[in-house]
Structure 1
Amino acid sequence: MKNIFRSIVMAALIMVSACNDDLLNPIPRTTFSEAVVFDSPEKADQLLNGLYATLITGQFYGSRYMIYNDIRAEDFINRTTNGVTGLSTWQHTLVSTTNEVQNLWSVAYLLINRANIFMDGVEKNADKIGGQEKVQEYQAHARFLRGLAYFSLLQLYARPYADNNGNHPGLPLRIQPELDDTNNSLARSTVAEVYSQIINDLNFAEQNLNTTNGSALKNTTLAHKNTAIALKTRVYLAMGQYENVIVEADKIVSQSAPYSSGNGVPHMLQENISDVFTPPYTSTENIFSAPFTEMALPGTQNGLGSYYNPGPRGNGDYSLNMSNGIFTLSVFDPNQDARAEWMFENTSNGFIYLNKFPRGPQHLDYAPIIRYAEVLLNLSEALVRSGGDESRALSLLNSVRTRSNPSGAYTQFSSQNSFVEAILLERRLEFIGEGLRNFDLQRTLSTIPGKENIQPVPPSSPNYIWPISAVELLTNSQMTPNN
């Protein structure tokens, strides 16, 4: 029975991977027995491609994960009252049976288990796929993806690390391949324990991933050493471990402007912000992105542009909040800031929409997961909060800010708090629509602001985090709900 189940899982991996055939030269869609799934590097590549395809499904990093993390906060206004496109997330009225609560949990754990099965398979077939060094490279990709999946789940389904130093209930930590339902029942590890596993996964990934993947496309859509390092700066920022943010960021950020990575893929800011969000989406600022093509689209009612563009390019589910959203604040100067191009007025209803992902109705825009601009601002904030080099922190902040607003450079701040607030506002502006707003609010234990008739959500509220999926509560006897 277990062998039959494994074969089904492997076949599913291969079939999923067929949707992203631009990345790893997939073999034709078919069903393989367990005996031949790993009998060549080509088939192992196909399975690895399947892991990346699982990550970038519309329910996860193809769009919805980022969307949920933005619409929880105050910068977007719901216009369609469509329960399928995040209305309950926007309203903070989620329950365990809400679609997004169950679907996001399921796809993230699907990726985690597929990564575990893949790692086990390549280990057992080292002689067929190129030896132990190749095994470690494959496992590094899988562990990067597993670490990202666990990190993503923590941001919605668990209390922030800053609340009680990670001692609240986190997630069931599944790090072994599951071939049937024997081990469904597994208690939640603490938030701190899950973060420890994430760091272990990313450290392994950094050590064993390639320095470069050989092309701009693969450097943007597949993990390499610098991808793992960049993600670690985000993870340590979430944990409030600012010295570790600095250690990691210094691996890929030069000591002075113009900032760039001295090793591996030569990451740097693009001169014009528009170049980051136009084809081919493979600039050295785009550290890691979800790719889409005519043959591999994010799917119906998915795609960032589907939510943020009005018809005919999208469904217009969310317009920009022009009452108290980021584009109404003094940090943004519509006459000087190139990011004003992200604002688009729909003349049919007068609402202002986000024009950052305009390639609808198919939604061919790549979904940005990690950008070099984020690494620079992560480092800037860590330097300020840790009492580090404030002149360097100021330069890092201004490098992002003045790229779009040349006259907007900061010169000094009256306090550490005002410096941090300026960084947080710049992040809110720079990364709008990229899914970092909820992350920034929760890691700082800030109240989620209200909008229109939706009340603010303080950290003490049960609605500050998502409920646990009803399916998980039903099938895992040791799982506990979020109260």
Structure 2
Amino acid sequence: MNNKKYKTLKQGIQSIMITVLCFISCSEQEYLHPDPTTYIPQEQTFDTPERVLALVNGLYRGMKDQQFYGGRYYIYCEVRGEEYINRTANLFTAFDSWNHTLNAGSNEVQNLWAAAYRTINLCNVFLQGLVDNADKVDPEAATAYAAEAKFVRAVSYFALVTLYARPYIENNGNAPGLPLRLLAETSSANNSLARSTVAEVYAQILKDLDEAETGLPLSYGTPLLNTTRAHRNTAIAFKTRVYLTMGNYSMVIQEAQKIVSANAPYRAETGVAHALQDDATIPFLSNNYTTTESIFSMPMTDLDSTTGQSSIGYNLNTSPGNSEYNLNPLGIIADTEWRENDQRRLFITGGATKYLKKYSKPSPFLDYIPVIRYAEVLLNYAEAAAHVEDLDKARDLLTYVRNRADASYQFPTSAINNVDALIQTILHERRIEFLGEGLRSNDLLRTLQTIPAKGTAPAVSPTEEAYIFPLPNSELLTNKDL
């Protein structure tokens, strides 16, 4: 780890050690000479429940970095696909990702990598702190907090491995993956670390998610916390995404069945009662970001919103944003089977030139950013069921998602009457349902599809170097084992 990265890491660690404490005392000495309230020495960070909770919140804050789940990660994953046309050729708003002209020195490549590994190391430092302070932290709370750290670490590694490494299904995960950093690092001494294989990275992701599932609470006391902190069903839901990306369809089904009832109306019967909203626009356009459909989201507030060029709203919308990208008129919005009375058409705005308005708030862009919704669990389950030739279940789940938004719609028989057609229809439905939610790049790569051309940007086949992000120069220059 180079000095610049170490300084950034140190600042990140210190930032989650800072909290405001209130001291009430009638002692004149304490009143005149109070303990510092805005800085806590590292050796005291686990001394009180409030301080430990502040550290946990800092892990989520790391995820919410503007270079990561707070903004740019979604932008890169969206514009790499075929649904957007770049309007400005602005290098600061992901033009190189859209145009597939990234190199090891590109800001996108380096900044995302740094933000993700910074978050991972925050988790590692926190987990080590729990071990070192086992006598100070309530055991039940420590178990739950460790589970949250493992969830955040797993989600962070998943983002990295699906952009910077070859798809799992290409050769069963035998390609080079990522440096798998699992130790708390506070210096640059251990920066050199060889890449683990893709399969080894996925194994660690699943290990963390399995342990998170076991240690996380079933639910919290409020819808806000149930949406913005990981609970048991959060870990299960994310495992359906991981297993689907690996092509392990039987495990997708096994995990999904934990939180999807056997019959419609589909819902989670244990833990948080996840279910689709009757109106498809509610999770985005109603100012209610904490319904049971939103399994896990990045909450944005005035204190930590992602403004300007790092905001997904700034990039993809027109009225509150900068019109960096309009929707591709030849993309999914041109699908005539996506009917005009479908509620999801309300996410599209504009005249001749169309824009996405899922993130419609003006600056400072306080829309919550969804990490995973219940609709994805249902479509993950549907796709896996189709692969194992349970066509009735796959059709039921697919239709349930479509009819939530367009109650009278019936899929053409030719679109759902055999395995191959049904899988393609489910993938097509994902383009509609998750437009603007950062899933398109992974859906293309995990199925080894060519990234389609759009506008002046060329198509990219799975055999081309541009299919994945290159490793960043910052890592290549400082990690001697790569």
State the TM-score bracket (shorter-chain normalisation).
over 0.9
How far apart in 2 are the matches of 1:308 and 1:7? 34
Q: 2:19–2:37: 8 Å Cα contact kept in structure 1?
A: no
Match of 1:360 among 359, 362, 365: 362
Matches within 5 A, 1:200-219: 200-219=207-226
The DSSP-based 3-state class of the residue aligned with 1:365 is coil
List per-residue Cα deviations over 1:23-52 (Å, max 9, x = no partner).
Answer: xxxxx9833212211101110100111110
User: Which residue pairs with 1:439 in the alignment?
Assistant: 442
- Structure 1 421/9 Cα, relative in aligned 2: closer, same or farther at 3 Å? closer
Decide whether the 8 Å contact of 1:7 with 1:32 is kept in 2: no
Tell me by how many angstroms 1:8 deviates: 5.9
Residue number in structure 1 paired with 2:148: 141
Contact 2:280/2:404 (<8 A) preserved = yes
Q: Equivalent of 1:463, from 437, 461, 466? A: 466
Alignment-derived partner of residue 30 in structure 2: none
Deviation of 1:16 after TM superposition, in Å, equals 10
Equivalent residue in structure 1 for 2:300, among 287, 292, 302 = 292
Q: 1:378 matched to which residue of 2?
A: 380
Give the stretch that moved more between structures: 275-284 or 237-246: 275-284
Q: Distance in 1 between matches of 2:12 and 2:481?
A: 25
Matched, 1:316 2:323: yes
Runs of 4+ displaced beyond 3 Å: 4-10, 14-18
CA offset digits 1:296-350 (Å, max 9, x no partner): 3123322221111124x1111110001x21010233112x21111111116xxx4
| Distance in 1 of aligned mates of 2:357 and 2:124 | 38
Partner of 1:46: 54
Q: Equivalent residues in 2 for 1:33-112 (5 A)?
A: 33-112=41-120
Give the superposition deviation at 1:354: 0.5
- Given the alignment, which residue of 32, 43, 51 partners 2:40? 32
What is the alpha-carbon distance in structure 1 between the residues aligned to residue 234 and residue 224 of structure 2? 14
CA distance in structure 1 between the aligned counterparts of 2:63 and 2:308, rounded to whole angstroms: 17
Closer, same or farther: CA 85–360 of 1 in aligned 2, 3 Å? same
8 Å Cα contact 2:17-2:42 kept in structure 1: no
Whichever residue aligns with residue 377 of structure 1, its letter is L
Structure 2 unmatched runs, 5+: 1-6, 22-35
Gap runs ≥5 in structure 1: 19-27
Partner deviation per Cα, 1:388-432 (whole Å, 9 max, x = no partner)? 3x2121111011101111222337423211100110010000000
Identity %: 46
SS at match of 2:295: strand
Range with greater deviation from structure 2 (440-449 or 350-359) = 350-359
- TM-score, normalised to structure 2, is 0.92
SS across alignment from 1:368: strand
Match status 1:301 vs 2:309:
yes
User: How much has 1:187 moved relative to structure 2?
Assistant: 0.2
SS of match in other structure, 2:135 = helix
CA distance in 2, matches of 1:32, 1:358: 39
Q: Does 1:236 align with 2:255?
A: no
The offset of 1:442, in angstroms, is 0.5
Instruction: Using the TM superposition, name which of 289-298 and 395-404 deviates more.
Output: 289-298
Letter of the 1:326 counterpart: I
- Given candidates 222, 233, 238, the residue that maps to 2:229 is 222
Distance in 2, matches of 1:117 and 1:194, equals: 19
What is the alpha-carbon distance in structure 1 between the residues aligned to residue 412 and residue 267 of structure 2?
22
CA distance in 2: counterparts of 1:397 and 1:177, whole angstroms:
43
Distance, in Å, in 2 between the alignment partners of 1:374 and 1:29 is 43
Corresponding residue to 2:455 among 441, 446, 452: 452
Structure 1 residues 127, 421: CA separation in 2 closer, same or farther (over 3 Å shift)?
same
Once the two structures are superposed, residues 253-309 of structure 1 have per-residue CA deviations (whole angstroms, 9 ceiling, x without a partner) of 001100000000000000001111121300000000000123331233222211111
Q: Is the CA contact (8 Å cut-off) linking 1:13 and 1:47 kept in structure 2?
A: yes
2:20–2:38 contact (8 Å) kept in structure 1: no
SS of the residue aligned with 1:126?
Answer: coil
- 1:181: Cα distance to partner? 0.8
Deviations 1:120-152 (A, max 9, x none): 10121122221x222211110000000000010
Q: Distance in 1 between matches of 2:8 and 2:312?
A: 35
Q: Which residue of 2 aligns with 1:333?
A: 339
Aligned length: 459
Provide the rounded CA distance (Å) in 1 between the counterparts of 2:18 and 2:166: 36
Distance 2:72 2:347 in 1: 20
Q: Please give the alpha-carbon distance, in whole angstroms, between the structure 2 residues aligned to 1:16 and 1:155.
A: 35
5 Å-filtered alignment, 1:242-281, equals 242-277=249-284, 278-281=286-289
Aligned to 1:22: none
Structure 1 residues 404 and 176: alpha-carbon distance in aligned structure 2, compared to 1, 3 A threshold: same
Correspondence for 1:421: 424
> CA–CA distance in 2 between the matches of 1:8 and 1:472?
19
Higher deviation after alignment, 360-369 or 152-161: 360-369
Residue of structure 2 aligned with 1:11, choices 2, 14, 30: 14
The answer to whether the Cα contact below 8 Å between 1:10 and 1:37 also exists between their aligned partners in 2 is no
**Counterpart code for 2:109:** V
State the Cα deviation string for residues 429-472 of structure 1 (Å, max 9, x = none). 00000011111111100000000122110000010001101100
Q: Distance in 2 between matches of 1:202 and 1:209?
A: 10
Which residue identity lines up with residue 201 of structure 2 in the other structure?
V
- Does structure 2 retain, via aligned residues, the 8 Å contact 1:15–1:50? no
Structure 2 vs 1, CA of residues 30 and 282 (structure 1 numbering), >3 Å: closer, same or farther?
same
Instruction: Name whichever of 287-296 and 217-226 sits farther off.
Output: 287-296
1:342 aligns with 2:347: yes
Give the AA of the match of 2:331.
Answer: G
In the alignment, the residues of structure 2 paired with residue 391 and residue 365 of structure 1 have an alpha-carbon distance, to the nearest angstrom, of 37
> In the superposition, relative to structure 1, how do residues 320 and 5 fare at CA in structure 2: closer, same or farther (>3 Å)?
closer
Matched residue type, 2:74: M
SS in 2 for 1:51: helix
Separation in 1, partners of 2:476, 2:88? 31
Q: Return the alpha-carbon distance in structure 2 between the equivalents of residues 87 and 34 of structure 1.
A: 41
1:5 and 1:167, CA in 2 relative to 1: closer, same or farther beyond 3 A? closer
